Structure 1
Amino acid sequence: MPPQRATLLQVAQRAGVSRSTASFVLAGRHVDMRISEDARQRVLRAAQELDYRPNLMARSLRTKVTRTIALVSDTLASDPYAGRAIHGALAAAVAHGHLLFIGETEGDSVVEEKLISDFLDRQVDAFVYASMFTRYVRVPKLLQGRPVVLLNCLTRAARPTCHSIIPDEVAAGWSAAKVVAEAGHREGIHLVGNPAHHVFAGRERLAGIREGFGAAGIKLAGTIACEWWPDSAYEAVSAALAAGPPPKVLICLNDRVALGAYQALREAGLTIPDDVSVLSFDDSDLAAWLRPQLTSISLPHYQLGWQAVETLLDPAGRDRPAVRRVSMPVRYRASIGKP
């Protein structure tokens, strides 16, 4: 049988004060209630000796505040790379004295509704609604009218009711163009991937690349179309190398694409970065594992999670919903050389 937890009354009796005085001290209200320092110290000492812990359930029933947040995602929590967003959200919640609950739906709307209902039954104060890939979403009906921040997703609503925290993909594309231009490249620059209009990250990255090159008076030589996976990139880059002169620079839309490009270049007898420079996005573990190590523009998962919770708990910002873009830093490594 677990030991019986100490009560507030027992703390007060040991400290020789009233129950209300003990309550005010433990709630940090000793100053406004004009409680003496001697009494405060006696209460704190008694609480420590008795290993007193407040009854949070009773407090939440009284105050209607549970100091809890629920993060509801599709597959974010189970991905070891994107899961850094969970770490950031956890750290921010702890810093604000909150507990973070995590639920994953795997994209199942029935599971999502059940999860949200369960969290509401537990009197969760606020929600982070998260997506594995940046995309447009509909805020679930159960969350409408409640404190919500969207993490790595946004809404098409003309008047959004909640903040969206997303990576700044357009600026990342501009950074990619800047890295290439500053290395001295002006021609033979190819994009590798499929910047389909429905893929948010690809569309925004390409827009930033074009803006950056346009400002420098540089044009992309072409696009080597492939899916965002190593085998598809390997086949597409191999075919492009066989069909014509080798490119000078490959800008890959993610690190998995870069892995396939590395394999195709090596098989063709080309050296990175002496013959071909390679740049990518995401800065996953692959970027550091590849040889030579891959220069990649980082998806700031941890910062996204942290910013989502910080925004959620900021009462000043709730009345002005907006899309907040988090910068994506360049991780310089050995895959970029001069022409």
Structure 2
Amino acid sequence: MTDVAKAAGVSQTTVSLILNNVAGARLSADTRQRVRQAADELGYDLVRRSVARPKVNNTIGFVADEIATDPWSAQALEAVHEQVWQNGLLVSASFTKGDADLEAAVREQMAGLPLRGLIFATILTRRVTDPGFSRRLPVVLLNCYVADNALPSVVPGELLGGYTATRHLIRAGHQRIAHIHGQSWMDASRDRLKGYRRALSEAEIPFDPELVRPGNWETRAGYEQTLALLALEDRPTAIFCANDLMAFGCYEALAENGLRVPDDMSVVGYDDREIARDLRPALTTVLLPHADMAAQATELLFDQIEPQNGRYPRLKVECPLVERSSVAPPRR
């Protein structure tokens, strides 16, 4: 194979992809022709048939619990694919939908593949039990973690994200800052609330529980909880919504009450969905960095780092602020 690569002026990986007819390999017709011509001239196929070929670990496994309910898994898979393809490898992906029988079938399927490593991802940032793949296979967790850090993992820095959003409003001059959060049992909701409280504490702004409203990540919750905040005697001048969908509902409630963003109320969201750019005014938000997380998870997989005292690192990727037009100094 090395001789074919030299004769064709390509890499050995390219030769492997072409002569093994790997589906999806993005190679030109000219390159394919040169490789096959060089293989014919050197008698490569005759040599290949005369020896037993070992399995080549040229694939990375990607297993996620969901792909259709949110764009995050698709973004992560695309980032893994690009990173892996740059290294001359391919991705084999499966989705379990949280079904125990399907998960078992996926584990069995992946165990039968000549994988170089595997990334196990979840749609919600959460603690998981060990996904159960062979310890001989390097595994990295994406957007999830195990309690004892027995596997390397990559998760978003949600606490810092909540802090960043709230600090941005404080720096704009706001003191009465409300927060509409998600379900309290979710890691993302708890950590974004912690970040909100930390920013207030750092700025010596007293925490007011009246300004913290329960949400559920849906547009309706943002709408209803904004109405509740507007009914307060001392209403807020800014609202930090724990995701962009609730910020959309917040916009609707404000408009219904004749209030303008950001003149009458500043609003910050979280996630940086497409809707954040489409709102008028465009929504300042915090980016949930699934593509960056997936790229870092892939690098961890390639590095095959060793644990320290039986524990692997849990990398937290920064959630940066995306400034747009929904924040201004308060009128009062």
- 1:325 is aligned to 316
- Mapping of residues 174-193 of structure 1, within 5 Å: 174-186=163-175, 188-193=176-181
2:268 aligned with 1:271, yes or no? no
Q: Find out whether 1:73 has 2:42 as its counterpart.
A: no
Determine helix, strand or coil for the equivalent of 1:281.
Answer: coil
Q: Where do 1:138-157 residues align within 5 Å?
A: 138-157=129-148
Give the corresponding residue for 1:290.
279
| Contiguous gaps of at least 5 residues in structure 2 | 15-30
Q: Which residue of 2 aligns with 1:126?
A: 117
- State the distance in 1 between where 2:72 and 2:144 align: 17
Q: CA deviation at 1:65?
A: 4.1
Alpha-carbon offset, residue 177 of structure 1: 2.1
**d(CA) in 2 for partners of 1:121, 1:261:** 50
> Are 1:219 and 2:210 matched, yes or no?
no
SS in 1 for 2:231: helix
Query: What aligned pairs does 1:23-172 form with structure 2 within 5 A after superposition?
Result: 26=12, 48=35, 50=37, 52=39, 62=53, 65-76=56-67, 79-157=70-148, 160-172=149-161
Normalising by structure 1, report the TM-score.
0.80
Residue correspondences, number: 299
Computed over aligned residues only, the root mean square deviation of the Cα atoms, in angstroms, reads: 3.0
Label 1:85 to 1:219 Cα distance change in 2 as closer, same or farther (>3 A).
farther
Higher mean alpha-carbon deviation, 169-178 vs 125-134, is at: 169-178
Q: Which residue of 2 aligns with 1:261?
A: 250
Deviation at 1:64, TM superposition (A): 5.1
Q: How far apart are the structure 1 equivalents of 2:158 and 2:301?
A: 22
Q: Which residue of 2 aligns with 1:194?
A: 182
1:217 Cα shift? 1.2
Per-residue deviation, 1:77 = 6.2
Task: Write the distance in 2 (CA, Å) between the matches of 1:11 and 1:177.
Answer: 59
Q: Deviations over 1:182-204 (max 9, x none)?
A: 11112x211112351x2100111
Moved more, 231-240 or 161-170: 231-240
Offset at 1:328? 0.9
1:230 aligned residue: 219
Report the Cα distance in structure 1 between the residues aligned to 2:177 and 2:197, rounded to whole angstroms.
12
When residues 27 and 251 of structure 1 are mapped into structure 2, their CA distance, relative to the original with a 3 A threshold, is closer
- Rg comparison, structure with higher value: 1
Cα deviation digits, residues 100-132 of structure 1 (max 9, x gap): 111011111111111121122122221100000
Equivalent residue number for residue 305 of structure 1: 294
Determine the C-alpha separation between the residues in 2 that align with 1:64 and 1:311. 23
Within 1, Cα distance between the matches of 2:32 and 2:319?
A: 48
Following superposition, which runs of at least 4 residues in structure 1 exceed 6 angstroms of deviation?
none
TM-score of the aligned structures, taking structure 2 as reference length: 0.81
In structure 2, how many angstroms separate the alpha carbons of the residues matched to 1:193 and 1:80?
21
What does residue range 239-258 of structure 1 map to in structure 2 within 5 Å?
A: 239-258=228-247
Superposed CA deviations along residues 124-147 of structure 1, whole A, max 9, x for unmatched, are 221100000100001222344521
Q: Do 1:195 and 1:206's aligned partners in 2 also have CA atoms closer than 8 Å?
A: no
User: Relative to structure 1, is the Cα distance of residues 265 and 52 closer, same or farther in structure 2, using a 3 angstrom cutoff?
Assistant: farther
Superposed displacement of residue 10, structure 1: 11
Which deviates further from its counterpart, 227-236 or 242-251? 242-251
* Structure 1 alignment gaps of length 5 or more: 1-7, 16-21, 29-43
Asked if structure 1 preserves the Cα contact closer than 8 Å seen for 2:60 and 2:89, the reply is: yes
Quote the sequence identity (%).
32
